[in-house]
Every structure is written in C-alpha cells, then in structure tokens.
Amino acid sequence: MVCGRIFIMELKLALVQMTTQLGNVAANLEKHLYFIEQARKQGAGLVVFPELSLTGYVLQDLAPTVAHRPTEDDPIFRPLLEASHELDLMVGFVDEDLRHRFYIASAYLSGGRVIHVHHKVYLPTYGLFDEGRFFAWGDSIRAFDTRFGRVGMLICEDFWHASPPYLLWLDGADLLLLSSASPGRGLNHGEKFESTRWVEQVTRSYASLFTIFVAHVNRVGYEDGLNFWGGSVIFDPRGEMVAQAPYHEEALLVSSLDLNLLKRVRARLPLLRDERTALVQRELMRILQSERTLG
C-alpha cells in the first residue's frame, strides 16, 4: 500500500501539569527547563505547558511587566528555543506586540524556531474573570504544520466556544492542544467541581465530534483563594480517554499516541469527509445578514 504524506506516526506527548510563581518569569522558566528535561528522559517528542505557564494566571497589573517576545534574543525564549532542537514545545506566556498590546498567548517551538503563536481570542470578563480589562483580544484562529501533523492551539475560554475548535478542524488540525488555568468552582455533592465536569465534557466531545486527538493541559496550585484543578487529559479520535493526570497535584503525563488511529477511525466514521462546509457558510451568511443576528 502506498502512503501519502509522511509523518511520524507515533507521538510521545508530555503534558506538564504544574504550578507557577505569580509574576516570577525567571523562576517559572527554570521549572519549564526542569520538566522539559524530565520529559526528554522519557522520550517525549512534544511537551506542552498550561495557559500562562511562564507568568502565572491572575496577573492584573503585572501583565505589562511579565510580557516577552518569542524571539531568539529574548532571555526567556532563548533557552526554550534551544531546548526545542531536541523536542517540540508549547508554552504559555504574555505576548507584547510591536505597538504594546498584551495578549495571553501560546507559542509552538520546534527545531529552534517559533512555528506558531496563538493569541487567546475569547477573554472571559465575567464572574471571577477579568481578562478583557488587562489583555487585547486575539484575532485569528489558524492550524499549522508540525512534524507530527497539523496542529491547532486554543487557550481556555477559546474552547468554551464551539467555533474555534470547529475552525481548526476545518483548517486541518488533527491534534488540538488546549491549555488552561481553570479554577475549580461549583462544589456540590458531585464527584468533581462543576467547572471540572464541564471542561471534561466539552474536551471529550471535540475528540468525538471531530475524530481528532485532543490534549488538555491544565495547571494546578493556588493563586490567593483560587484552586487550579489539573486533571490534564488526552482523548483519542474515538473520544476515548488515553490518559489523565491526577487532580490538584503537579504531574508529568507522558503518553504514546498512535496517529494511525486517525485513519482507522475516519474509515469507519467519515464525519470529516461528510462535513458540509459550503452549507455551513451559506447558512451562517444568511443568519448574520438576517435580522436576528448573533450580535
């Protein structure tokens, strides 16, 4: 049988479920390098870190002071780019553009280069969240090619909305890298926090609906009274759980993903083949032009 595109068909994926020091980028960088080394020893090909892993989450007025440009001459990114010669990395940071707008961002590094940067497009500014006050809104959702196939990155609230994962799916992503700093909330008689249940439900759904791999890396630790619940998880294109890290504890979760599963699942379940994007576009245009727009 003749193969088409030649990619590595096994991905050893490492999720780093860590806590951070709030606003102490140098200390957080050290921790990244430590976990990268641990993951390397276990043969990982890609290591992913949670949302704002280099800075901590509730930054408020710290945001401008912890921002970095993902370039070789940046003292924080230089060692990370060096490490990316051996294995691919996804890290969370505050990106500052040339006109000094600050973004919650994820960068994908490989072979000493920045392959892609995603700016968070949905900034929760309600309830306990106040991101829109301190950060600029990202404005694009793009998949990108890696040595493990095409990948899409989203950050927390981005995947509380259904459209960003859908767009990445159509843009060719077979692996979604989702990162969070998700505070546990909604304690009741249930086994987990309400927020945990909700996130696990939607991340698994994306794997099932799109027949793709979904990895969700969530941080742990506390910032003032907020607890971050961890439970980082990988789902395969059948929606089955491949592995999950414990709740509320630091962990390095390394799993082997059989990327050939994409082919086997889609041969059985051709949801991608049958997706009617032109119909979606037509109806979306009609809805947006009609009187009852989504806003």
Partner 1 sequence: MLNVDLTINCDLARRVLTSFIRSEVTRVGFRRVVIGLSGGIDSALSCALAAEALGPENVLAVCMPYRESSSESLEHARLLIEQLGVPTITIEITDMAEPLIRRDPAMSKVRKGNILARARMIVLYDQSEAFQGLVVGTGNKTEILLGYTTLWGDMAAAINPIGDLYKTQVRQLARAMNLPRPILEKPPSADLWIGQTDEDELGFTYAEADKLLYLLVDQRYSPEECIAAGFDRGFVERVLNRVRRNQFKRMMPIIAKVSNRTVGYDFLYLRDWGT
Q: Within 150-179, which residues bind partner 1 (CB under 8 A)?
A: none
Asked if 191 is part of the footprint of partner 1 (rule: CB under 8 A), the reply reads yes
Q: Report in angstroms how near the CB of residue 130 gets to partner 1 at its nearest.
A: 9
Beta-carbon neighbour count of residue 172 at 10 Å?
15
3-state secondary structure of 68: strand
**C-alpha span between 183 and 32 (Å, rounded):** 21
Contact pattern for partner 1 over residues 240 through 259, marking x by CB under 8 A: --------x-----------
Q: Which is nearer to partner 1, 23 or 79 (CB)?
A: 23
Give the one residue of 69, 142, 150, 192 binding partner 1; rule: CB under 8 A: 192
Long-range pairs, 34-39, Cβ under 8 A, ≥24: 35/252, 36/83, 36/87, 36/89, 38/252, 39/14, 39/87, 39/252, 39/254
Q: Report in angstroms how near the CB of residue 189 gets to partner 1 at its nearest.
A: 4
Q: Report in angstroms how near the CB of residue 276 gets to partner 1 at its nearest.
A: 39
Asked if 190 is part of the footprint of partner 1 (rule: CB under 8 A), the reply reads yes
DSSP string, 211-274: T-EEEEEE-EEEETTEEEEB--EEE-TTS-EEEEPPBTS-EEEEEEEETTHHHHHHHH--HHHH
* Among 3-11, 56-64, 111-119, 135-143, the segment contacting partner 1 (CB under 8 A): 56-64
* Among 30-38, 105-113, 141-149, 221-229, the segment contacting partner 1 (CB under 8 A): 221-229
Strand order in the sheet with 241-244: 144-146, 149-155, 175-180, 213-218, 233-235, 241-244
Do the Cβ atoms of 143 and 178 come closer than 8 Å? no
* Among 17-25, 104-112, 165-173, 269-277, the segment contacting partner 1 (CB under 8 A): 17-25
Asked if 222 is part of the footprint of partner 1 (rule: CB under 8 A), the reply reads yes
Q: Which is nearer to partner 1, 72 or 249 (CB)?
A: 249
Asked if 224 is part of the footprint of partner 1 (rule: CB under 8 A), the reply reads yes
* Among 147-155, 168-176, 191-199, 273-281, the segment contacting partner 1 (CB under 8 A): 191-199
Distances 202 to 140, 159, 207, 214, 228 between C-alpha atoms, Å = 21, 8, 9, 11, 18
Task: At 137, list the tokens.
Answer: 């809104």
* Among 9-17, 79-87, 152-160, 220-228, the segment contacting partner 1 (CB under 8 A): 220-228
The torsion of the CA quartet 226, 227, 228, 231, rounded to 10 degrees, works out to: -160
Q: Which is nearer to partner 1, 69 or 248 (CB)?
A: 248
Give the one residue of 34, 42, 60, 282 binding partner 1; rule: CB under 8 A: 60
Interaction site with partner 1 (CB under 8 A):
21-24, 58, 60-62, 184, 187-193, 221-225, 227, 248
